[in-house]
Amino acid sequence: MATDVHGPVSPQAPGAPRAAQAVHVEGLTRSFDGRAVIDRLKLDVQPGEFVALLGRSGCGKSTLLRILAGLDRDIEGTVLVPRRKAVAFQAPRLMPWKKVWRNVLLGLPGKPERAVADQALEEVGLSHRSGAWPKTLSGGEAQRASLARALVREPDLLLLDEPFGALDALTRIKAQRLVGELWQRRGCAVLLVTHDVEEAVLLADRVLVMDEGVIAYETAVELERPRDVTDPRFAELRGRLLERLGVDNAADAA
Amino acid sequence: MSISHAPPGSPESDISGIGKANAAPAGTTAADADAAGQGPLDLEPIVPSSARRTRVPRWLRRTTGPVLLLALWQLLSVTGVLTSDVLASPGRIAQVAGDLITDGSLPAAMGTSVQRVAAGLLFGAVAGTGLALLSGLFRIGEDLVDAPVQMLRTVPFVGLIPLFIIWFGIGEAPKVAIITLGVSFPLYLNVYAGIRGVDSQLIEAGESLGLSKWGLVRHVVLPGALPGAMTGLRYSLGIAWLALVFAEQINADAGIGFLMVQARDFLRTDVIVVCLIVYAFLGLLADFIVRSFERLLLQWRPTFTGR
């Protein structure tokens, strides 16, 4: 899946878009009241690459995601993202007044058939709730509906903002597995913002650690899929990342 | 509605070990704990709600109160405690109501009054929601519209009746105008608050889905403001009837208010009560219509229906 069309988010006119990347960010600065939350950040994501972005809370990782989603445009620097991109937020953010399938189709150009939505819902295992009101869904179901809404746009870049944060432990494991499968099937680039190191190592090709407004550390995850949490190399990598995040390894808080 | 748990007679109870370890498990009294380290707990049955429910159907329960009140009223009238120039008896009122309907004066009056309310409600709804949309959706609209409306809102609208009579004469116009005025403010306030109260996270989600400005208004802002608008509509209806009563007591030559003024001059408490009942009935009917609307339009909202 080639990311042919790039839509600039940057306020200034961009240079020639590079088709070799799904995301190209250079010299990105975002300030809140004079304090730079993101400070001359540089980031490239390859098409089809799964990148996890870790960081302490308040480090600006969600701000970066909102910028890439085009929701925050008070920025300086160059930001190039695919025109077809989709976001799944931490809260599912479904419109409560639209049935699930209408939520999935919301914002799609033209007048798409319900079958389009049902197909996307089928993919996340939620076709039986297609005609339900969002408020009657469980937390996991709502999050899957939100994923279907993102996927139906056939994005070249999928932005996930701690999508599993509000789920219970069992549902989270299932949802993580689902995202992994969907990514492998769709082949789109994914940027997953999370504070869960294990989740990052489990899913991503590359893990970035954000600190003080820049990508402070990055490492490729060379483990073969499906990954095993009990693998000593997994534990070693997780420990290394936790240390980077300022968590004492001995405490071993995941 | 059942909670699964270990059967009461199960030999290896889950908590027996805990009971032994701690002298008194939570919930048992000191005496219990003293008598035996783990004597039989005093169990109480959780009765299923279906068994607790009384046999009397709900509608019957609901009608009992009013019927008892009516019976008491009739009793007081018959025994002479309540004389007819203070308040006529229910029987007498029913009879007068029948007479007024058969001679056509009540239906005609109702028609006139309902027409006034409908016209006032229509104009008021258009003005109220129109202004609310203007100031809710656009910042420039808010700057221009909101302050004057908030100022005018504090003027008691019935106080404007004399002015309206000077402006519009004594025909239908001042009556409809006073209802319009009364109706527009609650609608304005609630629709405006509804629009401004729409969850910004949903707006952002809509933006991320690629909705246009108009698409955001149509799919996110307006549906989100609907609960507020419905509340406003119900307030407005209440005020519309109130405004009607005020408007019809002055210089009316038709309508329910006119009937009442006439009845007052002849000390006919029975006719007055009939008119009051008609007002109440019309108000209830209007409320029922709005409730049906609400049920239809807000079915996405799970609500607490009481126990």
Residue B17, in any domain of the structure: no
Residue B124, in any domain of the structure: yes
With a cut of 60, say whether residue A17 has pLDDT above it.
Answer: no
Neighbours of B110 (CB within 10 A): 20
Residue A130, in any domain of the structure: yes
Residue A98, in any domain of the structure: yes
Q: Which of A87, A91, A95 sits opposite B219 (nearest CB)?
A: A95
Instruction: Provide the pLDDT confidence category of residue B252 given band limits of 50, 70 and 90.
Output: confident
What is the pLDDT, as a whole number, of residue A8? 59
Strands A189-193 and A50-55: parallel
Tell whether A32 lies on the interface with B, counting CB pairs under 8 A: no
User: Per-residue pLDDT tens for A142-166?
Assistant: 999 999 999 999 999 999 999 888 8
Residue B150, in any domain of the structure: yes
With a cut of 50, say whether residue A233 has pLDDT above it.
Answer: yes
> Percentage of chain A with pLDDT > 90?
67
Listed range (A146-155, B11-20, B152-161, B203-212) with the worst mean pLDDT:
B11-20
Q: What is the DSSP string of B52-117?
A: HS-SS-HHHHHHHHHHHHHHHHHHHHHTTSS-TTT---HHHHHHHHHHHHHTTHHHHHHHHHHHHH
pLDDT, average across residues B272-276 = 91
Four-point Cα dihedral A121, A122, A125, A128, nearest 10:
80
Q: Are A107 and B201 a contacting pair at CB < 8 A?
A: no
Looking at the 3D structure of chain B, how many domains does it have? 1
pLDDT, average across residues A157-185 = 90
Asked whether the whole model's pTM tops 0.80, one would answer: no
Looking at the 3D structure of chain A, how many domains does it have? 1
Q: Are A134 and B300 a contacting pair at CB < 8 A?
A: yes
Q: Which of A69, A135, A153 sits opposite B300 (nearest CB)?
A: A135
Burial A47-65 (b: 16+ CB within 10 A, else e): bbbbbbbbbeeebbbbbbb
CB B175 within 8 A of CB B189: no
The amino acid at B54: T
Residue B146, in any domain of the structure: yes
User: Per-residue pLDDT tens for B130-180?
Assistant: 999 999 999 999 999 999 999 998 988 888 888 988 998 888 899 999 999
Q: Are A97 and B226 a contacting pair at CB < 8 A?
A: yes
A61, two tokens: 């990782």
Nearest CA in chain A to B206: A107
Residue A96, in any domain of the structure: yes
Determine the Cα–Cα distance for residues B38 and B36; give it in Å rounded to an integer. 5
Q: Give which of A137, A177, A204, A168 is closest to A146, Cα–Cα.
A: A137
Determine the Cα–Cα distance for residues B256 and B278; give it in Å rounded to an integer. 8
Residue A139, in any domain of the structure: yes
The interface residues of chain A toward chain B in range 57-96, judged by CB-CB distance below 8 A, are 69-71, 86-87, 89, 91, 93, 95-96
Determine the Cα–Cα distance for residues A253 and A234; give it in Å rounded to an integer. 15
Q: Give which of A90, A47, A45 is closest to A195, Cα–Cα.
A: A90
Residue A135, in any domain of the structure: yes
Instruction: Provide the pLDDT confidence category of residue A3 given band limits of 50, 70 and 90.
Output: very low
Neighbours of B5 (CB within 10 A): 8
Tell whether A7 lies on the interface with B, counting CB pairs under 8 A: no
Determine the Cα–Cα distance for residues B251 and B169; give it in Å rounded to an integer. 10
Determine the Cα–Cα distance for residues B219 and A102; give it in Å rounded to an integer. 10
A214, two tokens: 């820049």
Cα-to-chain-centroid distance, residue B269 = 28
CB A135 within 8 A of CB A94: no
Domain with A127 in it: 92-153
CB-based contacts of A227, cutoff 8 Å, min separation 6: A201, A202, A221, A234
The amino acid at A27: G
Determine the Cα–Cα distance for residues B188 and B180; give it in Å rounded to an integer. 12
Domain with B283 in it: 93-99+107-297
For residue B218, the distance in angstroms to the closest alpha carbon of chain A comes to: 11
Determine the Cα–Cα distance for residues A123 and A130; give it in Å rounded to an integer. 12
For residue B125, the distance in angstroms to the closest alpha carbon of chain A comes to: 23
Residue in B201, B209, B219 to test binding to A, most A beta-carbons within 10 Å: B209
CA distances, A43 to each of A14, A79, A208, B31, B208 (Å): 16, 9, 10, 70, 21
Tell whether A133 lies on the interface with B, counting CB pairs under 8 A: yes
Q: Which of B205, B300, B302 sits opposite A93 (nearest CB)?
A: B205
Query: CATH code at B258?
Result: 1.10.3720.10
Q: Which of B205, B210, B224 sits opposite A89 (nearest CB)?
A: B205
ipTM of the prediction:
0.83
Q: Which residue has the tokens 């709900």?
A: B58
| Chain A with chain B: Cβ pairs closer than 8 A | 56
User: Per-residue pLDDT tens for A22-66?
Assistant: 999 999 999 999 889 999 999 999 999 999 999 988 888 989 999
Determine the Cα–Cα distance for residues A128 and A41; give it in Å rounded to an integer. 43
